[in-house]
């Protein structure tokens, strides 16, 4: 199980791009991120992995 809890994240101090994101992925579960181009799907994945791996 992977549990991600991000209260706030961003690249510049005091300019948060993600606020209050919380989700859990169970073993064997598939997830998908959908959104328009430039919506931040890759950034969300990268920030989630940084929090998970640290």
Instruction: Report whether pLDDT(17) > 90.
Output: no
- Domain carrying residue 29: 2-53
Predicted local distance difference test score (pLDDT) of residue 28:
93
Q: Does the predicted TM-score (pTM) go above 0.85?
A: no
Domain count, the chain: 1
Cα 35 to Cα 2, 32, 38, 41, 52, distances in angstroms:
22, 10, 8, 7, 23
Cα 21 to Cα 13, 27, 36, distances in angstroms:
18, 20, 18
Instruction: Report whether pLDDT(36) > 80.
Output: yes
Spatial contact of 16 and 8, defined as CB atoms under 8 Å apart: yes
């Amino acid at each position: 199980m992977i549990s991600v809890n991000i209260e706030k994240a961003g690249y510049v101090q005091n300019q948060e791009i993600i606020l209050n994101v919380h989700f859990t992925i169970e073993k064997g579960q598939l997830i998908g991120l959908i959104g328009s181009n430039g919506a931040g799907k890759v950034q969300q994945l990268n920030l989630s992995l940084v929090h998970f791996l640290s």
